[in-house]
Chain A
Amino acid sequence: MSNLGSFIWKIADQLRGPYRPNQYGNVILPLTILRRLDCILEPDRETVRKLAAKYDNPNRLRIEVKKATGRPFYNTSNYSFANLLADADGLADNLADYIDRFSPDVDVFEYFDFKKEILALEKAELLREVIRSFKAVDLHPDVVSNADMGDAFEYIIRKFNEAANETSGDHYTPRDAIRLLVDLLFAEKNVDLSEADIVRTLYDPTAGTGGMLALAEEHLLQQNPDAKLRLYGQEYNPQSYAICKSDLLAKGHDATNIAFGNTLTEDAFKGRQFDFCMSNPPYGVDWKQYAKAVTKERDEAGPRGRFAPGLPSTSDGQMLFLLHLAHKMRAPEDGGGRVGIVMNGSPLFNGAAESGPSNIRKWLLENDLIDAIVALPTNMFFNTGIATYIWILDNTKHPDRKGVVQLIDGSSFWIKMRKNLGAKNRELSEKDRDEVVKLYADFTDADPDYSKVLRNDEFGYWTITVERPLLDESGQPVLDRKGKPKPDSKKRDTENVPFTYGGSSAGAAGKAEVIQTYFDAEVKPHVPDAWIDWAKVKTGYEIPFTRHFYKYVPPRPLAAIDADLEKQITKILELLREVEQ
């Protein structure tokens, strides 16, 4: 790890007082990026200024600059770190002019709201010192490689996130969880990755500060240094967006595929599909503000639209991202795609038969898109201790895995952290990660205490409505016009009948037969006058994760306990004698 990151972060010491530690990033992050770009652009500054004087049209200018310098971005200001400090009184204005004159694709300073920060720094009489400190750091690519710059920037982001997390509980995915997700995401397709010269696309619709994209890329490049990758992301928090994009710029990446905005209402990559999709969407956060737009899209897009299978309740939007990603996988005919998404427990089981969540599960399972679900340890995230799960979707499953879902209980694979970070006091070590990935790879041979492979139809059930007759005052059934007994709505009951009841493997097709068998055995003997209202039968899907791993452990035999008790009493009497001696 280079010391550059910590060296730059130390500049923040100058801010102590007027700034709180969780605000240091607002200054350090944009200035680091500004200084990096400043150093990159330095050699061609004159060329670009001349071109800018010649071409008013920004599109033309972009083309000419690219021709002359080989870079897609540029800056046309007369200011740079080289001369900013020369005009002491005009520093704030000149700095503002400098960031204003970047080419339009370098929009990060706007999203950092950096002009406001310039004014704040000036007011606190810190601006001059801070600019002087940054000027002293040479970030030219000849001195600091893209890789080193990337490491340094990541270090600064991490320091920033740690400071911010301790106070604000921001939603930020810990690296150990991302690593496991990435390992599982690539577990099946690592073979393809080793083919050089194939461009793979990675996509995160809730990119945050870009942590998932960065780690996924790192992983892929480790496997295959020749892999060609293109990173796509969308983020709706302005600051996170600016950090994410800056991180890519710092590493010398093409950052044009990082988009600002809300994935649920304005998908920036409409019509695009990707090889690998990842997301850690917010859990249990309501989407009432977008409900209108989402419902409208669903109504207008028809059966192939991303939200067509169903909508979750407006109190929790995580399944919208699940659906979104299920539609973002590269089409099977083009090679297929894979998704890794972290969610809490609710998408596994929330919602009754034919509710939105149940219909989403139905659509995923009937289309054989769920490859595996992995339970993570609790206390893994900074802002919550609840149970979380990684879902792996795949539209071109390995032939052995077709028609089934692997459930992996990874909740016991963790080590205690030396120091808590918010609610996070557990982490996945490399060994823990390897063990979970091995459970995945071992598939049907994996230890059944931790892994189960179930057919898609084993998650299905019917909810049947059981009616009983309405009786008149004399205890006789009241009949309708057709001479059939009228139901008593007060005695109405519902029952859930698993697709697999009585050992059936016919799935949804077994409906009439399985329901009748169930009714005859489980209901009729207890309520002989009951009948099924067949018009009200509903189909549901749920994934009762914990139930599949529950094992009844009977107590030890009484004789064994009694033998231990006898020994214990003898021992205690001896000890008592010693004490009373």
Chain B
Amino acid sequence: MKSDRWPSVPVRRLGTVVGGGTPTADSAHWDGGIPFVTPPDLRPVVGGVVHTTQRTLTAEGVAAGSSIVPEGSVLLSIRAPIGYVARTSSAMAFNQGCRAIVPFGGTSAHYLTYALVAAGAELASLGRGTTFMELSAAQMAALELPVPSLEEQRAIADYLDRETGRIDNLIEEQQRLIEMLRERRAAVVSSAVTPTDSWVCHRIKHIGKTSLGKMLDAGRAVRDGDQPKPYVRAADVRADGSVNLVDLNEMPFSDAEMKVFDLRAGDVLLIEGGATVGRPGFMFEPAPGIAFQKTVNRLRVGPETDARFVYWSMLRLYESAYYANHYGSVSFVHLTGEKLREIELHLPLLDEQRAIATYLDEQTARIDALIAETERFVELARERRSALIAATVTGQIDVREMA
């Protein structure tokens, strides 16, 4: 990284580069008073200060196979991934996934941290490795960073603390906004499909048919006439209720199976198990030539019921944590066809079902658009944050004028 205003200096001229290590599992080495930094400890404090670590070492442990650096050193992760950087709040040991720079007198650790953040992309590009990327000590030591006077380094670091703090605060509030919008979406759905006294309770087996998809039988011999066909699995039933139909996995299906496991417009798909058990997806269009796999239940309602209304009712059930709390399980909850068929839905008359479904489609579309815009805003704020750091450490912003 170069600056027009200041000389570029290799890292080795700015401080002593120290490699880390991990002592053996001997209990005498661990759980002492010395913080032991690994890359996951740096992740939440990138650009800032690392105060606490998941594990700690004894002095014996440090001596047996690690390294220790004083307060005000800069730690950089050199693999998995490259580029997490933070400075230490006290003397700390660290593992082989990090390397430390103990700054010489003329370098501010605070400034150096920001300069390394700004050099993030360059550092990553220097990584070498076949299985995972790792930054070598030599490359790290040779990395050139722009270095102004110590006084100006301090001014830059203070300025960036203040400005990135503002942006971080803004991002946090935007994320809070997204959470609130999601809460509002769930509340809109829930109140629209909350039954009134005139609604009638039906079990799913009385309003439609359910089927579980085809078992994945990759190891089994293909029967004559089977053709590889794309199929929908749980991962294709997306969080927004749409169903992914492109770049699908394939397995052999017979013609008869393609008829049994078909997907038509109005089918409601329900995830069969796992963390998102019961989450619904909706088929807006038919999907000829595409089948579905047994991680997904298909619910096809009869003509007396509006499928889209059923989708919203199933979403409400999912969002009220119904499945995880309703079915017993040893480890994972499964929504078997048997359980699905017995679920009770409260239904108004068909016209009202349609009206509610349309209302919900419109309302949620507006909220979803707002969420998407807010997410875009967060992206822009993050981009602005990176750009600000880079511009400042390369001297494009004169912080003396900003003070």
Contacts and interface: CB of A to CB of B under 8 A. Distances in A.
A565 interface: yes
A526 B202 contact: yes
A404 to B, nearest CB: 20
B328 A348 contact: yes
B180 A564 contact: yes
Given A284-B330, A345-B330, A571-B173, A526 B206 contact: yes
Given A526-B202, A526-B206, A579-B170, A550 B326 contact: yes
A576 B326 CA distance: 44
Interface stretch (B182-190, B232-240, B250-258): B182-190
A138 B290 CA distance: 78
B242 interface: no
A562 B173 contact: no
Given A526-B206, A546-B326, A558 B191 contact: yes
Interface string A543-581: 011110110111111100110110011011001101100
Q: How large is the interface on B (under 10, 10 to 19, 20 to 34, 35 or more residues)?
A: 35 or more
Given A561-B183, A561-B187, A345 B329 contact: yes
Contacts of B181: 565
Nearest to B169: A575
A542 B327 CA distance: 12
A527 B206 CA distance: 8
Given A527-B206, A561-B183, A572 B328 contact: no
Contacts of B325: 546-547, 549-550
Interface in A344-368: 344-346, 348-350
Nearest to A419: B31
Contacts of B330: 284, 344-346, 350, 386-387
Contacts of A578: 166
B293 interface: no
Contacts of B328: 345, 348-349, 542, 544-547
A549 B327 CA distance: 11
B206 A386 contact: no
A556 B187 contact: yes
Nearest to B31: A419
A579 B167 contact: yes
B331 interface: yes
B46 interface: no
A188 interface: no
Nearest to A572: B173
Contacts of A50: none
A516 B363 CA distance: 44
Contacts of A348: 328
A224 to B, nearest CB: 37
A418 B327 CA distance: 32
A344 B332 CA distance: 13
B326 A547 contact: yes
Interface string A100-134: 00000000000000000000000000000000000
Nearest to A554: B190
Interface in B183-219: 183-184, 186-188, 190-191, 194, 202-203, 205-206
A575 B170 contact: yes
Interface string A517-544: 0000010001100000000000000101
B320 interface: yes
Contacts of A445: none
A557 B194 CA distance: 13
A561 B177 contact: no
B174 interface: yes
Q: Which of B163, B320, B322, B342 has the most CB of A within 10 A?
A: B320
B176 interface: yes
A376 to B, nearest CB: 14
A350 B327 CA distance: 11
A549 B328 CA distance: 12
B187 A565 contact: no
Interface string A408-425: 000000000011000000
A493 interface: yes
Contacts of A350: 330
Nearest to B374: A572
Nearest to A348: B328
A158 to B, nearest CB: 12
Contacts of B176: 568
Q: Which of B30, B31, B180 has the most CB of A within 10 A?
A: B180
Interface string A453-478: 00000000000000000000000000
A181 to B, nearest CB: 20
Nearest to B317: A552
A546 B327 CA distance: 7
A576 B187 contact: no
Nearest to A571: B173
Interface in B108-125: none
Q: Which of A386, A555, A571 has the most CB of B within 10 A?
A: A555
A575 B205 CA distance: 53
Contacts of B324: 546
A555 B186 contact: yes
Contacts of A493: 205
A284 B330 CA distance: 10
Contacts of A522: 203
A558 B30 CA distance: 52
Q: Which of B30, B31, B184, B342 has the most CB of A within 10 A?
A: B184
Contacts of A568: 173, 176-177, 180
Given A549-B325, A550-B325, A569-B177, A555 B170 contact: no
Contact of A386 (B55, B167, B331): B331
A184 B30 CA distance: 36
B343 to A, nearest CB: 13
B158 to A, nearest CB: 17
B320 A552 contact: yes
A550 B202 CA distance: 21
Contacts of A579: 163, 166-167, 170, 381, 384
Contacts of B167: 579
Nearest to B186: A555
A402 to B, nearest CB: 26
Interface string B351-376: 00000000000000000000000000
B188 A558 contact: yes
A545 B174 CA distance: 40
A335 to B, nearest CB: 35
A348 B330 CA distance: 10
A555 B326 contact: no
A345 B325 CA distance: 13
A578 B167 CA distance: 9
A298 to B, nearest CB: 25
A142 B194 CA distance: 77
A565 B185 CA distance: 12
A387 B194 CA distance: 32
A544 B205 CA distance: 22
Nearest to A579: B166
Given A418-B31, A569-B177, A558 B329 contact: no
Interface in A276-316: 284
Contacts of B180: 561, 564-565, 568
Interface in B297-333: 320, 322, 324-331
Contact of A565 (B166, B177, B327): B177
A561 B182 CA distance: 10
A304 to B, nearest CB: 31
22 contacts: A349-B328, A350-B330, A386-B330, A387-B331, A419-B30, A419-B55, A522-B203, A526-B206, A542-B328, A555-B190, A555-B191, A558-B184, A558-B191, A561-B180, A565-B184, A568-B173, A568-B177, A568-B180, A572-B170, A575-B166, A575-B173, A579-B166
Given A419-B31, A556-B187, A568-B180, 14 more contacts: A345-B329, A386-B330, A387-B330, A542-B328, A547-B328, A550-B325, A558-B187, A564-B180, A565-B181, A565-B184, A571-B173, A572-B174, A579-B163, A579-B166
The 8 closest A-B pairs by CB, nearest first: A555-B187, A550-B325, A349-B328, A526-B206, A575-B170, A561-B184, A345-B330, A346-B330
